[in-house]
A and B are shown apart, each in its own frame.
Chain A
Amino acid sequence: MGSPHAIEFKNISKRFGRKVANNNISFSMERGEILSLLGENGSGKTTLMNMLAGIYYPDEGEIFINGEPVQIRSPKDAYAYNIGMVHQHFKLVDVFTAAENISLGESGKLDRDAIAKRINEIKAKYGFIIDPNKKIYEMSVSEKQTVEIVKVLYRGADVLILDEPTAVLTPQEIEHLFTVLRAMKADGKSIIIITHKLNEVMEISDEVAVLNHGEFTGKVRTCDTNPQKLTEMMVGHKVELSIRRPEPVNPQPRLTVENLTVRNHEGVNKVHHVSFTAYGGEILGIAGIAGSGQKELLEAIAGLQQISIIEGSIMYTPEGKKPSELVGKSPMQIRQSGVALAFVPEDRLGMGLVGSMGMRGNMMLRTWQHGHSLFVNRREPNELAEHIKKELDVSTPDIMYPVRRLSGGNVQKVLVGREIASAPSVLMSAYAVRGLDINTSYTIYNLMTQQKERGVAVIYVGEDLDVLLELCDRILVLCDGHVSGIVDARTADKNEIGILMTSIGGVGAGKEGSTNA
């Protein structure tokens, strides 16, 4: 062994209460390499990196930097050791420019010229595309991320930690990010990427370290492994990585959206003249960069947007009955008029569920108003909760245990379970597998497909294009609130969708797509 390891973890442990987040983790990485830290949600990846970045302090164990034992007690210490972390949720001041955010925290006089010069140096060196004078609130997610990375480099970091950097980017943006990362690597920087996307791991990294339930399961050279093997290391057992997709049987129009426009409170259009039809017995995927109007579209259908800001028409056609208009109805009116609409919103605990209540209370959300009594009926929700707990294998001490304390996967099982139990004829879901482990994700895909086979019109808003292409029958692509295209998921490819995601110019294709099935 010649030069010392850039970073070495030795017997690191961290506990939260009785929960072990990291147990006795030891591994190292070298300078000028890209390491992927792979693991499912809750496997302790972020906790481990937070200890390197000075946000947590390890209960046990030591960290070595360039062979020296160090104590990182705060982010300030981490910077002193040239370690910088780009968090999953950006920490930028919206009303400041990129340059102001990058230099934020520097003491002394604000020398704009000197700052601009250094930023330009960093830009040129690694090939960043960034306008230092643009305000953060005017930026796209990918631009914000660039600011965060430049900020870390500006502070002199040699070790960069990126927490799920690709989760919010389009395929083209990911490509560019990887180009930049390779340039940084060539410059001798050490980069750690926290991720759970296997194809990206294979593409970008030199080495992969895998965590499973807080335990270190191993480190391998990327060239010596493959996605199947990595999954097994991550999950601890063999997993079948394919999604069943039966052909739609007798698809009938169930939900016809026409010329729908939704404004936000400032009067800005979030959804522009969107038209499409969802058929019973098929899964309609919705792709798009985060914030392209997915949320507003689904909420408008569910009756959750204020009537005054919606234009257009949403017709619901039950099997063998006459269509009825949903625009202008409150969620309660929609339900009472017999529309069997189930909705799994993006914000599970903030909209779909009551975090402080147990499974029983959350079942009541659908039934609490039943009956004429002043008192709530607790028997039926009780039975339903017990049923879902058993059927979907929800891991909870009992049905009164606050759902907020359950893991993301179990929270989602409660929510999806309740919505499916209402025997819907339209099922809408937004980011249904976000933050879930592989097993639960496949459970959810499977539930969606089962509903499709029951003849339900399933609308699936997703972010992982690979999954959308495997799971859905058709994919509607949104760009900035416009439909930029509706493609056949069996024949489309990722790049095609990626281009549609960023081109409002695809409007022509959108009109065409909305008229054919």
Chain B
Amino acid sequence: MHNEKQPLFHLTRRDVMPPSKVWMIRAMSFLAAILIGALLFAILGKNPVEAYSTIITGSLAKPSAIRQTVKIAVPLLGTSLALAPCFGMRYWNIGAEGQITAGALAATYFALHFGKTWPHPVILIVMAVAAMLFGGIWAAIPAFFKAKYNTNETLFTLMMNYIIIGIVKWLQGGPWEGKPGSQIIPMFNDNAMLPKVFGVHCGWVIILLLTVFMYFYMTRMKHGFEIAVIGDSVNTARYAGMNVGRIIIRTVFLSGAICGLVGYLVTCGANGTLYDSVAAGVGFTAITVAWLAQLNPFAMIAISFMLAVLSKGAGTLQTRMEVPASVSDILTGVILFAMLASEFFIQYKIIFRGQKNQEPLMNEPSVLAEKAEKTALTEAEAHKTDADGKEARS
């Protein structure tokens, strides 16, 4: 009743890989994603090499193009940095979109009402502080309920997005409307706009400084240590005497404040006004960036820049080669997918029929990882047993 063949393949868990090999695998999967993208262009009837070179030249060949690309990268990097402490704590803040909007809203209030009258540095600083406070408070509301009543932050933060975007829509058509019936908030006075450094608003300098800060915050400071412990185990944090609720609220406030700052940079650096889609999906794309970077702030620079190149380049692609700009979203998706898949190959190894499991043996008879092995497999095995039990009966 059973054919006596060995299974076609089975999986074994790998030992810890050296980092060089890990990065090798990641680079390979990035390459694989690019190849899949090439296939996509081929299906669309375009020359993949030409398409990729258009993306690169379109985003990086001219100073004006580079400035555009940087402009796209700045909010993305800023928001990824904001998400890092939340995700480090395993607090799934997917409300960055709303927190950016909240910051932009607070900044706009001051820009509209005092933009002309207050001195340039004062108005900019007041706008920044207001944006950070409001973004922080907007983020801290779900965090408070999480800490107090253990509500689900994923749903809560997501819902908060719709509320703030709704408020901005109302402001656009109501109290803050410029020309009656236009549904548009008027442009800010130049006095309320950020100065430029090398042709791009100075936000990029702020965000780069923030990157360095976030690195030290996460790895060297007491706050960062608390975040790491909570992310690993809330019970351990309590055991170590940490006030988990307070730390969650504080950290999420910081995260929201940085998102608010991003909203401020976007309004008074780039857009010059407020509208409902001011965050433009950055709050969600940043989740991808933060995740791909494994919460390393410096890796976030590279990844957000890469996504900005894709996004800007795809725009050029659309005008020059008549490829829909949404191709950049598809490419981003494929890259993310490949990166996630690479994690599997970093953890496991596939052994095909007839092939030997031939990793070099360790000298010491180390049976260390078995325990971890067991726990990791208990789950899988539980499912397997049940599922197979069902089949066995049929």
Establish whether residues B381 and A19, one from each chain, have CB atoms under 8 Å apart when the complex forms. Answer: no
The answer to whether B151 has its CB under 8 Å from any CB of chain A is no
* Residues of the B chain whose Cβ atoms lie less than 8 Å from the Cβ of A405: 16, 368-369, 372
Q: Which residues of A contact B240 (CB under 8 A)?
A: 331, 365-366, 368
A345 in contact with B239 (CB, 8 Å): yes
**Cβ of B357 < 8 Å from any Cβ of A?**
yes
Contact B222 A17 (CB under 8 A): no
Which residues of chain B come closer than 8 Å to A364, judged between CB atoms? 225
Asked if B329 is at the interface (CB within 8 A of a chain A CB), the reply is no
A198 in contact (CB, < 8 A): no
* Cα(A405)–Cα(B393), bound, Å: 39
Q: How far is the CB of A185 from chain B (nearest CB, A)?
A: 25
A404-B372 in contact given A351-B239, A365-B236 (Cβ < 8 Å): yes
Q: Which residues of B contact A42 (CB under 8 A)?
A: 367-368, 370-371
| B interface footprint on A366-380 (CB within 8 Å = 1, 0 otherwise) | 101100011110000
Question: Which of the residues B239, B360, B367, B377 comes within 8 Å of A352, measured between beta carbons?
Answer: B239
Contact call B13/A357, Cβ cutoff below 8 A: no
Does A67 touch B at the CB level, under 8 Å? no
Is B153 part of the contact surface with A, judged by Cβ < 8 Å? no
B24 within 8 A of A: no
In the complex, which residue of chain A has the Cβ closest to the Cβ of B11?
A: A57
Number of interface residues of B (CB under 8 A): 63
| Minimum CB distance partner of B220 in chain A | A375
**Of the residues A16, A332, A373, contact of B369 by C-beta under 8 Å:** A16
Q: How long is the Cα–Cα vector from A60 to B351 in the complex, in angstroms?
A: 12
Q: Does the CB pair A71–B2 fall under 8 Å?
A: yes
Most buried by A among B356, B359, B373, B378: B373
Which of A77, A106, A107, A368 contacts B226, CB < 8 Å?
A368
Cβ-based interface call for B322 (8 A):
no
Residues of chain A lying within 8 A (CB to CB) of residue B223: 374
Taking CB atoms and an 8 Å cut-off, the chain B residues in 339-394 that contact chain A are: 349, 351, 356-357, 359-362, 365-374, 377-378, 381-382, 384-386, 388-394
Given contacts A105-B389, A330-B243, contact A44 B232 (CB under 8 A): no
Interface centre among A108, A347, A368 (most CB of B within 10 A): A368
CB-CB < 8 A to A60: which residues of B? Answer: 356
**How many of chain A's residues have a CB under 8 angstroms from any CB in B?**
77
A80 lies within 8 A of B1 (CB)? yes
Smallest beta-carbon distance A97→chain B, Å:
17
Within 8 Å of chain B (Cβ to Cβ): is A213?
A: yes
A15-B359, A104-B389, A369-B222 given as contacts; is B370 within 8 A of A47 (CB)? yes
Q: Name B10's closest neighbour in chain A (CB-CB).
A: A57
Residue of A nearest to B388 (CB): A76
Q: Is the CB of A73 within 8 A of B7?
A: yes
| Assembled-state Cα–Cα distance A128/B359 (Å) | 47
Contact A80 B392 (CB under 8 A): yes
Is B378 in contact with A89, judged by CB distance below 8 angstroms? yes
CA distance A155 to B392 in the complex (A): 10
B361 partner residues in chain A, CB cutoff 8 A: 15, 18, 20
Q: Which of A16, A87, A406 has most chain B Cβ within 10 Å?
A: A16
Would you list which residues of chain B between 151 and 178 have a CB under 8 Å from chain A? none
Does B15 count as interface, using CB distance less than 8 angstroms?
yes
A304 close to B (CB within 8 Å)? yes
- The answer to the question of B271 belonging to the interface, with a C-beta cut-off of 8 Å to chain A, is no
Q: Is the CB of B390 within 8 A of A105?
A: yes
In the complex, what distance in Å separates the CA atom of A335 from the CA atom of B238? 13
CB-contact partner of B365 in A155, A213, A356, A410, under 8 A? A213
Q: Chain B CB within 10 Å — which of A41, A47, A351, A357 has the most?
A: A351
Shortest beta-carbon distance, A414 to chain B, in Å? 13
- Residue in contact with A407 in the complex, picked from B5, B232, B367, CB distance below 8 Å: B367
Given contacts A18-B15, A18-B359, A74-B384, contact A332 B241 (CB under 8 A): yes
A77 to B370, CA, bound (A): 24
Q: How far is the CB of A405 from chain B (nearest CB, A)?
A: 6
B321 is an interface residue with CB less than 8 A from chain A: no
Which residues of A111-144 have CB atoms within 8 Å of chain B's CB atoms? none
| Complex Cα–Cα for A18 and B349 (A) | 12
A-B contact pairs, 21 of them (CB 8 A): A17-B12, A17-B14, A17-B16, A18-B360, A55-B377, A55-B385, A59-B12, A77-B2, A80-B2, A105-B386, A214-B365, A332-B242, A350-B236, A356-B232, A374-B222, A375-B221, A376-B221, A405-B368, A405-B369, A407-B370, A408-B371
Q: Which 8 A-B pairs have the closest CB atoms?
A: A17-B15, A105-B389, A332-B241, A76-B388, A42-B367, A76-B392, A213-B365, A331-B241
B-side interface residues toward A, CB under 8 Å?
1-2, 4-7, 10, 12-16, 220-226, 228-229, 232-233, 235-236, 238-243, 349, 351, 356-357, 359-362, 365-374, 377-378, 381-382, 384-386, 388-394
